Amino acid sequence: MAARPVSTSTHTVSSSLAAIETSEPHHLRRFFLGPMPEKIVTQTETQVLNKSKAKSLLRSLSSSSHTATATELPGGHHRSQAVKDLALRLFIQEGGNVNDWGDAAEEGTREEMLRRWKDSEWGKLWSRREQRQAVASSQQRWVGETFEVGNILGVQLLQEPSGGISEHVASSMRSSKGPASPTSPDFQSTTAGASSYTTAKSSIPSESVPAILVTQPSPDSDPLGSAQPGSPANSSTALIERVDSAPAAPTSRPSMHNLHSAFRVKSDPHVDIIKKGKGKAVHYAELPARPSTPDAAPPMEVLARTGSEVEGTSAGATSGENSPLETEPLDWGDVFMRDRMMVRAGYCKAEFPNPELFDDTRSRTTAHLHYEDWCEYMVVWRMNRLELYEEPNFLTKVFTSDTKLHLAHVIPLKSSKTAVSLYSFVDLTFCLTCTPTRVSDVSANPLARLHREKPGLNVFVLKVKSRSRALDWLWHLWRAKGGDIPHTLEVRSPVLDTRLKIDVPTSNDELFEQLGRENLVDLCLSSLVAKEDWRVFIEAEVGRRKVLRLAWRLGSNMDWVWFDDDVQGYERRWSVLCGLALKRSTETAHLELRLSQHTPADVHIANRSQRLSEPPAIEGYLTRIKPNTQAKQQIYLSVHNGCLFSTSPSSAHPPAPPGLEAVTALEQDPLDLRRMEVQRGAAQIYHATGVTDLRSVLLIRRAEKATFVPTHNERDIDDELWGELYGRDVEMCEMDEGDENGEEGLGREEVRTRRSFELLMQNGHVARFEAQSCRTATEWISHLRALVLFWKLRHKEDAANDMDLARGTRPRLTPQTHTHHDHDLPPEPPLDLAQPSPALANIYNWCVLEGCRPVVKCGSLFIRRGLHGHYKLMHAFLTGGHLLQYHIKTKSIVHPVCKVKINLVDAYVCSGYFAALSLPRGQFDPSAPPVPRRYQDGLETDDGEDDTMFMIWYRKQAPSAVGVEPTQGEESLAGFSQAVPPLSAKRHVAIFRARSKLERDAWCWALSCEIERLVRGQKERERKMRERGRLVGIKKGSR
Domain parsing of the chain, residue ranges: 30-177, 257-326, 494-599+845-852, 614-644+659-727+750-795
Strand partners, 409: 388
Distance CA 428, CA 576 (A): 16
Helix (H, G, I), strand (E, B) or coil at 147: strand
Instruction: Give the type of residue at 204.
Output: I
Q: Which of the given ranges, 392-396, 723-727, 864-868, has the highest pLDDT on average?
A: 864-868
In this structure, is the dihedral angle defined by the CA atoms of residues 962, 967, 970 and 976, taken in order, positive or negative? positive
Which tens digit of pLDDT belongs to each residue from 54-69? 455 555 555 544 443 3
Smallest CA-to-CA distance from 552 within 640, 490, 623, 634 is with: 490
Query: Which residues does 633 contact at the CB level (< 8 Å), separation at least 6?
Result: 623, 624, 626
Is beta strand 30-32 parallel, antiparallel or unpaired with respect to 617-625?
parallel
The predicted model gives 329-346 an average pLDDT of: 84
Query: Which residues does 749 contact at the CB level (< 8 Å), separation at least 6?
Result: 706
Under 8 Å between Cβ of 956 and 903:
yes
Helix (H, G, I), strand (E, B) or coil at 765: strand
More confident residue, 471 or 918: 471
- Helix H or strand E encompassing 843: helix 840-843
Distance CA 782, CA 723 (A): 12
Distance CA 689, CA 648 (A): 7
Distance CA 547, CA 570 (A): 25
Tell me: pLDDT of 198 over 80. Answer: no
Helix (H, G, I), strand (E, B) or coil at 204: coil
The predicted model gives 331-355 an average pLDDT of: 86
Under 8 Å between Cβ of 430 and 474:
yes
What is the CA angle 1008-1014-1019, rounded to 5?
Answer: 125
CB-facing half-sphere around the CA of 223: CA atoms within 13 A: 21
- Is domain 614-644+659-727+750-795 annotated with CATH 3.40.50.2300? no
Distance CA 237, CA 241 (A): 6
Query: pLDDT band at residue 787, thresholds of 50, 70 and 90?
Result: very high
Which tens digit of pLDDT belongs to each residue from 886-932? 999 988 999 999 999 999 999 999 998 889 888 988 888 888 888 88
Q: What percent of the chain has pLDDT over 70?
A: 66
- Helix H or strand E encompassing 856: none
Query: CA separation (Å) from 240 to 233, 512, 570, 572?
Result: 11, 16, 21, 19
Under 8 Å between Cβ of 447 and 440:
no
As to burial, measured by CB atoms within 10 angstroms (0-12 exposed, 13-18 middle, 19+ buried), residue 292 is exposed
Look at residue 542 in the predicted model and tell me its pLDDT: 75
Smallest CA-to-CA distance from 665 within 171, 48, 75, 185 is with: 48
- Helix H or strand E encompassing 853: none
The predicted model gives 209-229 an average pLDDT of: 33
Under 8 Å between Cβ of 409 and 388:
yes
Query: Which residues does 731 contact at the CB level (< 8 Å), separation at least 6?
Result: none
Tell me: pLDDT of 52 over 90. Answer: no
Q: How far, rounded to the nearest angstrom, does the alpha carbon of residue 1022 sit from its chain's CA centroid? A: 19
What is the CA angle 348-349-351, rounded to 5?
Answer: 75
Which tens digit of pLDDT belongs to each residue from 115-162? 888 887 787 777 776 655 444 455 678 888 899 998 888 888 888 776
Query: Which residues does 98 contact at the CB level (< 8 Å), separation at least 6?
Result: 88, 92, 164, 165, 168
Give CB contacts under 8 A, 24+ apart, made by 512-516: 512/573, 512/574, 512/577, 513/199, 513/200, 513/573, 514/200, 514/202, 515/489, 515/576, 515/577, 516/199, 516/564, 516/573, 516/575, 516/576
Tell me: pLDDT of 170 over 60. Answer: no
In this structure, is the dihedral angle defined by the CA atoms of residues 98, 102, 104 and 106, taken in order, positive or negative? positive
Helix (H, G, I), strand (E, B) or coil at 41: helix
Helix (H, G, I), strand (E, B) or coil at 260: helix
Look at residue 302 in the predicted model and tell me its pLDDT: 37
Look at residue 1008 in the predicted model and tell me its pLDDT: 95
Distance CA 889, CA 906 (A): 31
Tell me: pLDDT of 477 over 90. Answer: yes
Distance CA 276, CA 281 (A): 8
The predicted model gives 769-779 an average pLDDT of: 91
- Helix H or strand E encompassing 1002: helix 997-1017
More confident residue, 589 or 70: 589
What is the CA angle 574-580-582, rounded to 5?
Answer: 115
Tell me: pLDDT of 769 over 90. Answer: yes
Q: What is the pTM of this model?
A: 0.80
Look at residue 719 in the predicted model and tell me its pLDDT: 66
What is the CA angle 660-661-664, rounded to 5?
Answer: 135
Tell me: pLDDT of 853 over 70. Answer: yes
Tell me: pLDDT of 21 over 60. Answer: no
Which tens digit of pLDDT belongs to each residue from 669-699? 888 888 999 999 999 999 999 999 999 999 8
Query: pLDDT band at residue 538, thresholds of 50, 70 and 90?
Result: confident
Q: What percent of the chain has pLDDT over 90?
A: 30
Phi, psi of 550, rounded to the nearest 5 degrees: -95, 145
CB atoms within 10 A of CB 1033: 11
Which tens digit of pLDDT belongs to each residue from 488-533? 999 998 888 889 999 998 887 788 888 889 999 999 988 888 887 8
**DSSP structure string for 661-721:** -BHHHHTS-HHHHHHHHHHHHHHHHHTEEEEEEGGGEEEEEE--SSSPP-B-------HHH
Question: pLDDT averaged over the chain?
Answer: 74
Distance CA 476, CA 432 (A): 13
Tell me: pLDDT of 163 over 70. Answer: no
